[in-house]
Structure 1
Amino acid sequence: MSEPTERDPLIQNAQLQQTLPGSATAPPPTEELGSSPKHLGPLEISRTTRYGILAGIWIATFLSSMNTTLVATLLPTISSEFQRSHQASWLGTSYLLATCTFTPLYGRLCNVMGRRGANQLAVALAGLGTLACGLSGNMEMLIVARFLGGMGGGGAFTTSTIITSDMYSIRSRGLAQGIASVFNSLGMGLGGPIGGLISDWLGWRWAFLLQMPLFLFSFLFTSWHLHYVTPGKIKRKIDVLKRIDYGGSLTLLGAVGSCLVFLSLRYNGEQPWSDPLVITSLALSVVFAVAFVVIELYFAPEPVLAPFLLKQKVPVLVGISNFLVANCNFAIQYFYPMWFQTVLLTSASVAGLHVLPNSMAVSVGSLFAGWMMHKTGKYKMINLIFGICPFIGAVLVSTMREDSNPVHQWIGIVPLGFGNSVVLQTMLIALLAHLPRDAMAVGTGFGQLFRGVGQVGGVAISSAIFQSSLDRELRRRIDTPDADELIKNIRHSARFVAELPPDLQRKARDSYAVGLRAVFITAACSTLLAYIARLPIPDKDLEHSPRKQAPSGAQNDSQAPTPSQSKPVTPSIPGTPVSELANPAELRRPTLQAMHAGKRSRRLSTYESADSVMDMEDDRIGGSARR
């Protein structure tokens, strides 16, 4: 062997050697030198890889958020084309019903299929549903397509939150989720304006079809970059699939779906209380709701609504807040553009543009809340100060008149969007900060479940209030011989209002104004109750600096982090210290395993035994993010 020269490296295969505690160097790992490098943990990946992952999941959340409100400005156009204006609310509720029902499952699927597999399943379903919407030939097919899109849209939100939580500490997560909320908020806020503009220029179908390239980009970004691995124990596929709560999901779907059918038949379809379908749908809703509770409490191996969270104050209060905030948000999001189209008789594009200031306010609010939590490590004071803004915004929206000044009509909704974005952002961090570290996935699904039910309720309940008030006002104002037929046409086609003679048009516009005002006042009451519900939630330091080591003999299960958790990484948020990403303090948070030690109970969705924190992974499906 030749003697080394000054040009030879002092340490051969430096990249393959590791430093061990208490020793200078260690021999190369036992893996074959020619094999592919092992997969990295979520805190070990490079900044470029992290940005690639974020680009993929944030494109998907943007599109899914946009699709929740896209139909708000398309409702008059679509329902008038199919002559089904009284069924128009189903275009919103079918999407939100699927989101509400299937969103909690993605917390489990992230452990079953891996982060990448669950996210790509959600993106594929959302893309197929959106494509089917653009190709629908009747209202029934469009409603089914919206349901299919909602099955994936809800999953995009949950998987995005879980993936982001993997890659950031609890304190840096506030800023990261704030940036994520910008895309979420932009999609939700731009859905109305984009839908209205495309509808006026190209037709409503293109509002769906033009999204397909972006869905493809999202899928490709995650395929290329999302390959990190979280700790876990391999399980057989059949064992993993048996632990999914099929009964809870089906009964939840039945309960919410039957309630929507009841509201649609009774208030939108004008069926009397004595109608057998009305009675049956109401009865089924109650039966399915009771069955859901029984299954979750006593039978489900992996409950959709984890019972242990219902026994804790913070998750319950966050759930109530999420429900009421979502109820307010979607009631106004879906009916605010209609006010301009039916009361002021503007075009769909102009009505959509009135939502644009709200989307900008939502984005600013999300960034503001994330930045404030990142800088202060607190969330309660931010919530107390800015949490009242949604109530102020809802009151301003409910007091709009035809002769209101332009500032009121364009800016009145801004406090609503800004305040609600702050609330949702701080409540997410409050929930995660009070949960064990291995309950992040199930906790995220828990919060999304209440938010999803609130979204469905916001559209369905407000639609019932609106249709009931509109029918009453029209019958009070119109007393011509053909009043019944005229009222039916006005309710079934919003565009018909612009075609009426001046005297009837005035009555119809006033009736729409009264019905919409009832919706806005209900939304204001909802957001005020949400503010009151959040008041008892305690503050908690969002620490990111290492705490003092516990005394010898007082170690807990989280004092031995895995290599992927303990290895320093390059921060991917500008200005974020390395110590905030590799967070020793967060690793010492209690675990579900410790909380339930010694208790005989059903397995929860994130642990099974002392051998592993996350044990629902199947290597053949993809682990947490394996190829």
Structure 2
Amino acid sequence: MTSPFEVSERQPLLTEPRSVANSDEVSAFGEFPSPGKKQRNVSIVRARLKFIFPALAIGIFLAAGDQTIVVSSYGRIGSDLDELDKVAWLATAYLCTTTAFQPLYGKLTDIFGRKACLLSAYCIFGLGALLCGLAQNMDQLIVARALTGIGAGGIITVVSILLSDIVTLEERGIWQGYVNMVFACGAGAGAPLGGILTDAIGWRWAFIAQAPLCMIAISLVAVLLQLPTESHHQKDEQKTKIKQVDFLGAVSLIACLVLLLVFLDTIASDRANHLVSYLWLISSAVCFVVFLWVENSFALYPLTPLRILFGKNFLGAYIALAFGNVAWYGIIFYVPLLYQAIGHLSASAAGTLLLPGIGSGVIGGFIGGTILKRRGATGFSSLALASYPLVAMASVGVALGAGFFARDIPLTAIVLAVSISLFVGGLGNGGGMAATLVVVIVVASPEDQAVATACVYLYRQLGTTIGLAIISLVFRRVLASNLIDRLVDAPELGLDTGEVLKGVSESLEYLDQLPIKGRIIVEAAYGKACRAVFLVCAGLAICAFISSWFINESRVEGQERNRPEEYGSIDEENGVGGSLRS
């Protein structure tokens, strides 16, 4: 049977083509317009896109930069707040809420509208950033970071939805490419910019300065993004639609993550034998069971349908992506600490020296996307298998560089060796992420592509959140154990082991209070702890490599191969170029 209408790639996704017979239905704009009027409405919004995009770009830049802004400054933050042992929470709190709220925003935009949700996300992000700068202790800062993550998740999600609404399919790749570049610039600038601001005017201003930028973006969006208003009929449906949002799934997922992170935090503090520590783990498991029950049996529209979340066609790519991403993130997170604690570099210098790895990640993404495009939607497993060994090699290279600090080797040579390792690792991470992200889109059936995309990002964020907490546990355990052993062997220094452990866990500035021999011991312990972290990252990269063997490239029966131009760029962080992202 011939369709009464024909879908054109020049048609924006916001306007569903309808037959004349159905023109009395309520449109996406809440009116009863003719198809011609709807098209004119979208054309007006699309014509303003070049003016609207800077407002959207500010949010994308801030959300991307906020993921890495603490990387170069967390040593100073932990020292100032005397809780250096909790700094890993600054990243995990942000990633935890971003992970859980990204899927929710998709549904909320259908209920309350794109513009309202985007403005709300900007407000939450700006408020969170302001509270980060005003925090008086680490607990307040962690809560503020979690609030910022809620806003960031909304910004990233709603901007992607808006672009799909406004632009045509053939223009989508171009505008997504612009978003990719903005995201890559934000992620690349976050670490060095955070370090520069920390050294120049203090780490608090690295957060506070984001609030005025959010206000500018809010003003621009409010004025320039003029979407047609809803009808009374649509507003009456909001109460019905909001019941379809899987809030219980999101809450149970957040509770599961937070309780698990608290468990890992407590056992890192030598409280592993306490019953209360394992009660956190049991509670986390209970919340996970509740989450599975909600998604499988209770939620009308699940946050993550289990058939997609644990589907055999996707699981290999999911796991490879999770392992690979946390391996790379662990390197990026602990290299600045290595530079500051042992290399005596400033926060700005430590952040700037991450640029080889961040920049090569963008290059690796583009190269991976180009390879996949030329091979015609095949070879995903091969690309991942070729990429993740580079991350493992980089981890070992950085571990060797950390060991060079204990030898009489010039700092310049050590930095060069670590930078080369970062460059190699960035190429591998970019290529591996391109393969694992895109294969999920290609394998999924058309009706499952949006959900599968959400699930692959969920695995990436979950893997990073949990993995970073485990890596932090390894670092703290090895540091404490090595310090105890070394101080016991040096009784002539007269240092109290408990006091040294407390001082090292609170602040990097404590090192300046130690005698020279005592500082050498502490720095050696830091070096060994960092090496342990990087070797764990190498193991995680190897796990990503092994998981890549199980990546499924077979499409569902009857599914045509997606066009190569639709998957050239999926991920903003790695700049995989020119794609249509579901």
What is the TM-score when the length of structure 1 is the normalising length? Answer: 0.74
Q: 1:461 to 1:110 in 2, by over 3 A?
A: same
Alignment of 1:502 onto 2:502: no
Task: Check conservation: 2:388, 2:542, Cα contact below 8 A.
Answer: no
Q: 1:343 to 1:289 in 2, by over 3 A?
A: same
Identity %: 27
Q: 1:373 to 1:172 in 2, by over 3 A?
A: farther
* 1:199-218 map, 5 Å: 199-218=198-217
Report deviation, 1:41.
8.2
Report deviation, 1:468.
0.6
SS at structure 1 position matched to 2:69: helix
Paired residue type of 1:284: S
Report deviation, 1:366.
3.5
Number of aligned residue pairs: 520
Report the counterpart of residue 88 of structure 2 in structure 1. Answer: 89
Report the counterpart of residue 411 of structure 1 in structure 2. Answer: 420
Task: Check conservation: 1:103, 1:158, Cα contact below 8 A.
Answer: yes
Report deviation, 1:407.
2.2
Alignment of 1:113 onto 2:127: no
Please list the CA deviations of residues 222-254 of structure 1 after superposition, one character each: whole Å capped at 9, or x if unmatched: 442474999xx9571111111111221111111
Report the counterpart of residue 288 of structure 1 in structure 2. Answer: 287
SS at structure 2 position matched to 1:38: helix
Paired residue type of 1:537: N
User: 1-side partners of 2:51 and 2:429: how far apart?
Assistant: 29
Please list the CA deviations of residues 135-175 of structure 1 after superposition, one character each: whole Å capped at 9, or x if unmatched: 22222221111110011112223333444455678897667
Q: Which moved more, 1:520-529 or 1:464-473?
A: 520-529
Q: 1:67 to 1:193 in 2, by over 3 A?
A: same
Report the counterpart of residue 334 of structure 2 in structure 1. Answer: 335
User: 2-side partners of 1:171 and 1:424: how far apart?
Assistant: 24
Please list the CA deviations of residues 399-433 of structure 1 after superposition, one character each: whole Å capped at 9, or x if unmatched: 21223544212222012223222333343333233
SS at structure 2 position matched to 1:262: helix
Please list the CA deviations of residues 72-105 of structure 1 after superposition, one character each: whole Å capped at 9, or x if unmatched: 2222212211211122222222112211222221
Report deviation, 1:448.
2.0
Query: Quick check: which one's helix share is greater?
Result: 2
Paired residue type of 2:200: W
Aligned partner of 2:486 among 477, 501, 507: 477
Report the counterpart of residue 431 of structure 2 in structure 1. Answer: 422
Paired residue type of 2:103: P
Paired residue type of 1:463: S
User: 2-side partners of 1:198 and 1:59: how far apart?
Assistant: 19
User: 1-side partners of 2:375 and 2:40: how far apart?
Assistant: 31
User: 2-side partners of 1:161 and 1:419: how far apart?
Assistant: 26
SS at structure 1 position matched to 2:301: coil
Paired residue type of 1:330: Y
Report deviation, 1:372.
5.1
Q: 1:437 to 1:272 in 2, by over 3 A?
A: closer
Alignment of 1:242 onto 2:236: no
Task: Check conservation: 2:373, 2:565, Cα contact below 8 A.
Answer: no
User: 2-side partners of 1:413 and 1:358: how far apart?
Assistant: 4
From the CA coordinates, give the structure whose radius of gyration is larger. 1
* 1:377-388 map, 5 Å: 377-378=376-377, 380=380, 382-388=383-389
User: 1-side partners of 2:164 and 2:375: how far apart?
Assistant: 19
Report the counterpart of residue 542 of structure 1 in structure 2. Answer: 562
Paired residue type of 2:396: V
Task: Check conservation: 1:244, 1:302, Cα contact below 8 A.
Answer: yes
SS at structure 2 position matched to 1:351: helix
Task: Check conservation: 2:121, 2:155, Cα contact below 8 A.
Answer: yes
Task: Check conservation: 1:497, 1:505, Cα contact below 8 A.
Answer: yes
* 1:24-39 map, 5 Å: 37-38=37-38
Q: 1:491 to 1:362 in 2, by over 3 A?
A: same
Paired residue type of 2:362: S
Task: Check conservation: 1:98, 1:151, Cα contact below 8 A.
Answer: yes
Please list the CA deviations of residues 304-325 of structure 1 after superposition, one character each: whole Å capped at 9, or x if unmatched: 1212313633433332233223
Paired residue type of 1:478: L
Q: 1:163 to 1:431 in 2, by over 3 A?
A: farther
Please list the CA deviations of residues 159-210 of structure 1 after superposition, one character each: whole Å capped at 9, or x if unmatched: 3344445567889766754553333233223222111111110111111122
Please list the CA deviations of residues 590-619 of structure 1 after superposition, one character each: whole Å capped at 9, or x if unmatched: xxxxxxxxxxxxxxxxxxxxxxxxxxxxxx
Q: 1:439 to 1:173 in 2, by over 3 A?
A: farther
Report deviation, 1:503.
0.9
Report the counterpart of residue 444 of structure 1 in structure 2. Answer: 453
Report deviation, 1:326.
2.7
Q: Which moved more, 1:293-302 or 1:156-165?
A: 156-165
Report the counterpart of residue 267 of structure 2 in structure 1. Answer: 266
| RMSD across aligned positions (CA) | 3.6
Paired residue type of 1:418: L
Report deviation, 1:220.
4.2
Report deviation, 1:499.
3.5
Paired residue type of 1:417: G
Report the counterpart of residue 520 of structure 1 in structure 2. Answer: 534
Q: 1:59 to 1:390 in 2, by over 3 A?
A: farther
User: 2-side partners of 1:346 and 1:162: how far apart?
Assistant: 42
Report deviation, 1:469.
0.7
Task: Check conservation: 2:373, 2:564, Cα contact below 8 A.
Answer: no
Alignment of 1:432 onto 2:441: yes
Task: Check conservation: 1:357, 1:414, Cα contact below 8 A.
Answer: yes
Report deviation, 1:373.
5.0
Paired residue type of 1:533: S
Q: Which moved more, 1:417-426 or 1:125-134?
A: 417-426
Task: Check conservation: 2:388, 2:541, Cα contact below 8 A.
Answer: no
User: 2-side partners of 1:72 and 1:190: how far apart?
Assistant: 11
Report deviation, 1:284.
0.9
Q: 1:103 to 1:56 in 2, by over 3 A?
A: same
Task: Check conservation: 2:256, 2:284, Cα contact below 8 A.
Answer: yes
User: 1-side partners of 2:565 and 2:511: how far apart?
Assistant: 62
SS at structure 2 position matched to 1:415: helix
5+ residue gaps, structure 2? 1-16, 19-30, 556-560, 567-576
5+ residue gaps, structure 1? 1-19, 22-30, 547-574, 587-627
SS at structure 2 position matched to 1:71: coil
Q: 1:170 to 1:435 in 2, by over 3 A?
A: farther
* 1:42-441 map, 5 Å: 48-166=47-165, 177=176, 179-223=178-222, 224-225=224-225, 227=227, 234=234, 236-267=237-268, 269-274=269-274, 276-310=275-309, 312-371=311-370, 373=372, 377-378=376-377, 380=380, 382-400=383-401, 401-402=404-405, 403=409, 404-441=413-450
Q: Which moved more, 1:250-259 or 1:155-164?
A: 155-164
User: 1-side partners of 2:251 and 2:295: how far apart?
Assistant: 12
Task: Check conservation: 2:63, 2:155, Cα contact below 8 A.
Answer: yes
Report deviation, 1:500.
2.0
Report deviation, 1:334.
1.6
Report deviation, 1:272.
4.1
Task: Check conservation: 2:83, 2:505, Cα contact below 8 A.
Answer: no
Paired residue type of 2:143: V
Paired residue type of 1:516: C
Paired residue type of 1:542: N
Report deviation, 1:530.
1.9
Q: Which moved more, 1:56-65 or 1:297-306?
A: 56-65
Paired residue type of 1:517: R
User: 1-side partners of 2:524 and 2:100: how far apart?
Assistant: 37
User: 2-side partners of 1:361 and 1:382: how far apart?
Assistant: 16
Q: 1:396 to 1:425 in 2, by over 3 A?
A: same
Q: 1:495 to 1:122 in 2, by over 3 A?
A: same
Please list the CA deviations of residues 120-148 of structure 1 after superposition, one character each: whole Å capped at 9, or x if unmatched: 33222111101111122222221111110
Q: 1:134 to 1:292 in 2, by over 3 A?
A: same
Aligned partner of 1:468 among 460, 465, 477: 477
Q: 1:389 to 1:314 in 2, by over 3 A?
A: farther
